[in-house]
Amino acid sequence: MDEKARGPVKAIVLGAGYRGRAYAAYATAHPDRLEIVGVADPEQASTIMSPRYWGDWRECLLARPDADLVFITLPDALHHQAAITALDMGYNLLLEKPLATTEAQCREIIDMANAKGLLVITGHVLRHTRYFAHIKAIIDSGTLGEVVSIAHQESAGYFKAAHSLCRGNWANAAKSSPIILQKCSHDFDLFAWWLGRRCRRVSSFGSISLFRKENRPDGAAERCEDCPGSIEQGCIWSARRMYLGEDSKLGYMFADTSREAMERVVRETDFGRCVYACDNDVPDHQVVSMEFEGGATVSLVMAGFTEHNVRSTRISCTRGEIVGDGSTLHICRFVDNKTWDISHDATGAGLSPLAAQFPGAANSAPEPSSNESRHGGGDFNLVTEALHLMKNGSRDAIKAVTEQSLESHLIAFAAEESRLNGGKVVELK
């Protein structure tokens, strides 16, 4: 084995925001496996330790840093151009979802990677968590029979609805991408993975229910800082409450969470805007109905106004049912009415004790024991998978992983086409 194959994979990070920092943390935790050799970001590059910095992704790639992997964690609209440029230069990619904002661009990226034998692994971190991998393993064991239907809800959490769907980077589809692609490509990825089949047709409805200009209270200002106290103090959506309040659930999105920095966020950035005075045009609730090959049906509810940011799932099979609340799986086997509850909190034993009931399941689930990163360990497990494929993956394995993200994107584009056309059924090619 040569020195390069033995040493850490060298990588550059394009976009040092929330996601860039999440992946770069892997190099700090596992310096023997990953080394960050360059970072590009106009504002936050230095939040990631690196020997070299650039202010823009293009300048960085033009310098052709000696690296094998590029993390593309830029705003959605920049993914396509950055991905094509980096692939053209021969870099493998960990490309945040969405791959790109149109179907044609997504296909171009995948085709180019395949032609060059390079890896494009997408930020679909959920399939790399124990919880979701265990659902896959239970289905694959065959103990519960065939999957007939899936009812799944992606609850954004009311605080994230205001942050992401109204004030923030994903509120305007033209500036980023359709919200059903942005938020739910994860969910479509799970469905296609669990079922191991392709989606045939899709129909969808959704709209903006609350964050509309006509709902702005009389006398409310454009920014929360300027709003009369009589209105601002009673407002659920007050930016002061969301970002400066003791119960703020959004601080983790920012590199600098000092009081001074967060006050600047409220005072100077888009996150300080009144939720009724933004340029948001993406739905705050959307439903998608899907039919997969073989007839299994799936319904997805994307709901903005919920207490928690969590995914819940009910999977009906011919011989049993799986019900998940985001951390615990409740399984029922109809033949003997036997039930099990598998906890995925820190003390959860996982599937191992159930190996006899679900043959093969305990072994087939990747056992990402680590909860050392966000998304239940999924962020780091995804990086581990990327590094493994780059060092040991066959060309076929790399191609299979590169192509697997396309299906989720095609479902999302079809759902958006349907929603914009009054819910018409869209057939997937």
Ligand X SMILES: NC(=O)c1ccc[n+]([C@@H]2O[C@H](COP(=O)([O-])OP(=O)(O)OC[C@H]3O[C@@H](n4cnc5c(N)ncnc54)[C@H](O)[C@@H]3O)[C@@H](O)[C@H]2O)c1
CB 43 within 8 A of CB 101: no
Minimum CB distance to ligand X smaller for 65 or for 123? 123
Contacting residue, 8, 30, 53, 56, with ligand X by CB under 6 A: 56
CB 304 within 8 A of CB 207: no
Binding residues for ligand X, rule CB under 6 A, total 25
- Asked if 322 is part of the footprint of ligand X (rule: CB under 6 A), the reply reads no
- Asked if 324 is part of the footprint of ligand X (rule: CB under 6 A), the reply reads no
Q: What is the smallest separation between the CB atom of 11 and ligand X, expressed in angstroms?
A: 15
Residues with Cβ within 8 Å of residue 334, at least 6 apart in sequence: 319, 320, 321
Minimum CB distance to ligand X smaller for 252 or for 334? 252
Name the segment binding ligand X (CB under 6 A); options: 71-79, 113-121, 222-230, 238-246. 71-79
Contacting residue, 80, 97, 273, 399, with ligand X by CB under 6 A: 97
- Asked if 44 is part of the footprint of ligand X (rule: CB under 6 A), the reply reads yes
Q: Quote the radius of gyration of the chain (alpha carbons, Å).
A: 22
For residue 324, the cross-strand partners are 313, 329
Minimum CB distance to ligand X smaller for 78 or for 310? 78
Name the segment binding ligand X (CB under 6 A); options: 38-46, 106-114, 136-144, 226-234. 38-46
- Asked if 74 is part of the footprint of ligand X (rule: CB under 6 A), the reply reads yes
- Asked if 50 is part of the footprint of ligand X (rule: CB under 6 A), the reply reads no
- Asked if 65 is part of the footprint of ligand X (rule: CB under 6 A), the reply reads no
Name the segment binding ligand X (CB under 6 A); options: 37-45, 264-272, 296-304, 364-372. 37-45
Q: What is the smallest separation between the CB atom of 216 and ligand X, expressed in angstroms?
A: 26
- Asked if 409 is part of the footprint of ligand X (rule: CB under 6 A), the reply reads no
Minimum CB distance to ligand X smaller for 283 or for 320? 283
Q: What is the smallest separation between the CB atom of 233 and ligand X, expressed in angstroms?
A: 29
Minimum CB distance to ligand X smaller for 254 or for 292? 254
170-189 positions binding ligand X, by CB under 6 A: 182
- Asked if 40 is part of the footprint of ligand X (rule: CB under 6 A), the reply reads yes
Name the segment binding ligand X (CB under 6 A); options: 74-82, 259-267, 272-280, 403-411. 74-82
Minimum CB distance to ligand X smaller for 250 or for 317? 250
Q: What is the smallest separation between the CB atom of 60 and ligand X, expressed in angstroms?
A: 8
CB 88 within 8 A of CB 31: no
Q: Which residue's Cβ lies closest to ligand X?
A: 17
Work out the end-to-end distance of the chain between its first and last CA atoms, rounded to an integer number of angstroms.
44
198-257 positions binding ligand X, by CB under 6 A: none
Interface mask (CB under 6 A) for ligand X, residues 3-22, using x and -? -----------xxxxxxx--
Name the segment binding ligand X (CB under 6 A); options: 27-35, 42-50, 101-109, 401-409. 42-50
Q: What is the smallest separation between the CB atom of 180 and ligand X, expressed in angstroms?
A: 13
Minimum CB distance to ligand X smaller for 119 or for 296? 119
- Asked if 169 is part of the footprint of ligand X (rule: CB under 6 A), the reply reads yes
Contacting residue, 61, 92, 96, 199, with ligand X by CB under 6 A: 96
Minimum CB distance to ligand X smaller for 124 or for 419? 124
- Kindly tell me the burial class for residue 225, based on how many C-beta atoms sit within 10 Å of its own C-beta (0-12, 13-18, 19 or more): middle
Report the 3 state secondary structure along the chain. Answer: CCHHHHCCEEEEEECCCHHHHHHHHHHHHCCCCEEEEEEECCCCHHHCCCCCEECCHHHHHHCCCCCCEEEECCCHHHHHHHHHHHHHCCCEEEECCCCCCCHHHHHHHHHHHHHHCCCEEECCHHHHCHHHHHHHHHHHHCCCCCEEEEEEEEECCHHHHHHHHHHCCCCCCCCCCCHHHHHHHHHHHHHHHHHCCCEEEEEEEEECCCCCHHHCCCCCCCEHHHCCHHHHCCCCCCHHHHHHCCCCCCHHHCCCCCHHHHHHHHHHCHHHECCCCCCCCCCCEEEEEEEEHHHCEEEEEEECCCCCCEEEEEEEECCEEEEECCCEEEEEECCCCEEEEEECCCCCCCCHHHCCCCCCHHHHCCCCCCCCCCHHHHHHHHHHHHHHHHHHCCHHHHHHHHHHHHHHHHHHHHHHHHHHCCCCCEECC
For residue 150, the cross-strand partners are 298, 315
- Asked if 125 is part of the footprint of ligand X (rule: CB under 6 A), the reply reads yes
Residues that bind ligand X (CB under 6 A): 14-20, 40-44, 56-57, 73-76, 78, 96-97, 123, 125, 169, 182
